[in-house]
Chains A and B, each alone.
Chain A
Amino acid sequence: MHLTVWTYEGPPHMGAIRVASSMKGVHCVLHAPSGDSYADLLFTMVERRPSRPAVTYSSFDARDMGGDSAALFQDTLRKAYERFRPQVILTAETCTGELLQDDPGGLGKAVGLPVPVVPLKLPSYMRKDNWGASEAFHSLVRGIAGPKAPPGGKRPPRPEGAAPSCNILGPISLGFRNRDDVEEVRKLLDLCGVRVNVVAPLGASAHDLARLGEADFNVVLYPEIADTAARFLERAFGQPSVRTVPIGVGATRDFLAEVARVAGLETVPALDDPRLRMPWYSRSVDSNYLTGKRVFLFGDATHVMACARVAAEEMGFAVVGLGTYSREFARDVRACAEKYGVEALISDDYLEVEAAIEEARPEIVLGTQMERHIAKRLGVPCAVISSPVHVQDFPARYAPQMGVEGANVLFDTWVHPLMMGLEEHLLGMFREDFEFHAGAGASHLVGGVVPRGDEALAEPATAVAEADGDSPSSASGGASGDGAPVWEPEAERELKKIPFFVRGKARRNTERYAAERGLARISIETLYDAKAHFGS
């Protein structure tokens, strides 16, 4: 047993429902107890689907637990076929069904429906959501596309003058920004003059799956979902795969180069789209403060690896931690982490993730819905880069992660919380400033401004220093009991002329300088001596 409060991934049958619900004419029939239908609301609420997901549950309860549960499953299968008239049916058990040993595969065949019934084996106590989706998609592709494979997986050469074509594999229901990524990747393929044959599973029909073999190659957008199916297609149809995930500017260029190579194009199209604003935004002087920002990344393998590159090479961040809950891709993520000189965290225990984040002391966290809450608790800026996500990350507006517009979206999304963080920091700094103290009125309004005397002016230094994490030994210029140097009033006033964002550092340096030299009092001279000594 493993104690958990929440989980990055659902059980594997969730993946099967996601595949069926992504497609047209595919229905999933699950041998499941009453209550497992809770999964429906992720589709109807989080993704805001206007229809129920393509799944029917046998909904057995305690009364059915005798010999009836098998018959109940067959009855459910029959009824689901009659009601929904799918072209293909997926059958599986949920975790409780797995314990009953009713064998939905055999039972499903015995019903003798006039459409293919594809049985899935989903080990609920070992595997999870993405594995289930990958297995369901692979089984469908094998069952529907497989029979038409050419002998030995040999592809006939492309007819002279015909445009190269590809399938886009992996986009799926409840996938993070999958809807818009597909549109953006279509634009990239257009740029190369590559025709899209089939997108699957999202939006594909069983008939479309039968046409998968017609394409020249496959684009694997989300390896978590499509890797197994793509490998099968490689073997069965001799279709090579494009595996670069075009998240970020550099990866998008690499993607175009890989497509060009795989499609046998003579030139790699240039990425000179005027919509691509990200590189300029990142170079503009306003972005200087992003340099070396410590970033911690966590999420599914695809997004973490792609976003780490964007963070390091395109935002100028320092990657201080990186990890995934996708155990299937642990090896790739470990290799990726090595490039940044950190050790990958492979875990689905949020407490471990939380501890790693605390340990790494990042200035920004890029993660899932879970990391958003961890970061909120730690008071660290955060942006979401991967599933699992909540309803706000299935936005109404166009918001891809991939390609040209994806790069723009990433820049805005990541910088926004940092700007917010900086803004909050400034407000904290200015909290006791002569214009911003609690008693001051709103700006541009006459009256309500409380004049402050010299005495009151002595306080801000303390507040500012504290806000900066400093603990001044003699902040208000008074005597201090522990023998630490005392600030002379003139020096204290001079200190306040130093810009607030370096004031705390100046105070610490000066006090350290004075203490090291056994000075009892800090004069203006001491202040500038220290500045000269430390070089700032």
Chain B
Amino acid sequence: MSAITLNGVEAPCPEAYRDRGPRSVFCGLTSVVWMHRKIQDAFFLIVGSRTCAHLIQSAAGVMIFAEPRFGTAVLEERDLAGMADAQEELDRIVTRLLERRPDIRLLFLVASCPSDVIRIDLKRAAHRLSGRLAPKTRVLAYTGSGLDTTFTQGEDSCLASLVAEQAEPADSAGRSLVVAGCLPDVVEDQFRRLFEAMGVGPVHFLPSRTSEPLPAVGPETLVLAAQPFVGETVQALERRGARRLSAPFPFGEEGTTLWLKAAADAFGVDPARFDEVTAPGRARAKKALEHHRETLEGKTIFFFPDSQLEIPMARFLARELGMRPTDIATPYFNRSLLDAELPLLGSDPCLSEAPDVDEQMARCLDLKPDLTVCGLGLANALEAQGRVTKWSIELVFTPVHGYDQAGDLAGIFARPLVRKSLLKV
């Protein structure tokens, strides 16, 4: 890929590229770790290898011991030998699983690299099992394999499977808003209150807290993406006639205001009303951000690819806290969903998609940014070289969206710098 066009101007950075090389990223299976916390009556059954189970164990940390609603059907030699009984094996495992967990209403069969390569047809299995287990339990299939998905794309793949399962659109679905992307309950409630106060609604959050199917989606459904990685989900909704609202993502005071504004405008909310409803949140967010300005202003920041949150984060840190992004790498550059972000970002930072991790390490050590955002596999190695890092997974597990989390979000980036100045050892 050649240079990226930003703001109508060709980005000057020659490294704005997609390079082929070793990567240091999670696969989409990892998203199971937070998705299962959100959808409270769903179980995620990964069909994969010992590696997949080991990954989930490593990613889930201690959470794995709290009777989690996920597990792995580990493939064995005899599963590889003959394809004929893969469906029978799945039946056996699902039956045993549901006997032990009768509270499960929604079961996801999650494909992995091994199950994809030997072409186990999980869609067919889901369809067949759904027929057998209906109406008590619905069974869906999606892929979280590293071949197809990186980290948060697993959530996208999962949500798209939920949309695809929808019945045909009702003719008179009525105007409604779908907020796409997993949000912590506390954030969801905050947004719900703001939409209500403005008179925007009905609002449906995807995913919702239970396995309840989405209400009808049709031409009058408007979609607001809450996460930058829900491209496939938005497309699935658009295929049902829904229309996406272009907006930056709700990080920081500015991002949240513009995001809410996109919905308010689409629902014809009076601007005065919008200002009145958002004014307290905006003031609180600005005030909270001030606490971190001194630490962050003027500092350079370098992003390794991880979650697709990199571009909105860089925009927020640059515009609201005066940081200077040097490199922003993203695992997947979804140009269309970022249409409202990229103009705000400016043309300074070097953008790349899934770059070679070794090249990027070399560049990072060479550039010496003040703060580097990266995965846990790289963070300590960079710290040992004298770089200050912020491990990126925290951005996915911590409430960071909306006005009242703006200060916390800035705090996530400020803390490593504050710590560096505190430590005298």
Contacts and interface: CB of A to CB of B under 8 A. Distances in A.
Interface of A: 1-7, 9-11, 13-14, 33-42, 44-45, 48-52, 56-62, 65, 72, 76, 79-80, 83, 94-96, 99-100, 123-126, 128, 370, 373, 377, 390
Interface string B19-47: 01111111111100000000000000001
B27 A33 contact: yes
Contacts of A83: 358
Contacts of B150: 34-35
A99 B358 CA distance: 27
B80 A125 contact: yes
A99 B80 contact: yes
A373 B68 CA distance: 14
Nearest to A128: B50
Considering the complex of A and B, which 10 residue pairs feature the smallest CB-CB distances, nearest first?
Answer: A35-B146, A35-B27, A40-B377, A50-B384, A95-B49, A96-B113, A373-B65, A41-B376, A33-B146, A10-B54
A11 B358 contact: no
A82 B86 CA distance: 43
B18 to A, nearest CB: 11
Contacts of A35: 25-29, 55, 113, 145-146, 150
Given A5-B68, A62-B148, A95-B114, 8 more contacts: A1-B47, A5-B64, A5-B71, A34-B27, A35-B25, A39-B58, A56-B358, A125-B77
Interface residues of B, number: 63
A33 B24 contact: no
* Most interface-central of A42, A72, A96 (chain B CB within 10 A): A96
Contacts of A59: 21-23
Nearest to A37: B24
A185 B185 CA distance: 53
B93 A4 contact: no
Contacts of A5: 53, 64, 68, 70-72
A33 B113 contact: yes
Interface in B330-382: 357-358, 375-381
Nearest to B90: A1
Contacts of B77: 123, 125-126
A33 B145 contact: yes
21 contacts: A1-B74, A1-B76, A3-B72, A4-B53, A6-B56, A6-B57, A6-B64, A11-B54, A33-B113, A34-B23, A35-B25, A36-B146, A38-B55, A44-B381, A76-B21, A95-B113, A95-B114, A99-B114, A125-B75, A128-B50, A373-B62
Nearest to A100: B117
Contacts of A1: 47, 73-76, 79, 86, 89-90, 92-93
Given A5-B71, A7-B57, A79-B358, A95 B51 contact: yes
Interface string B112-129: 011001100000000000
B97 interface: yes
Nearest to A83: B358
Contact of A56 (B22, B76, B384): B22
B283 interface: no
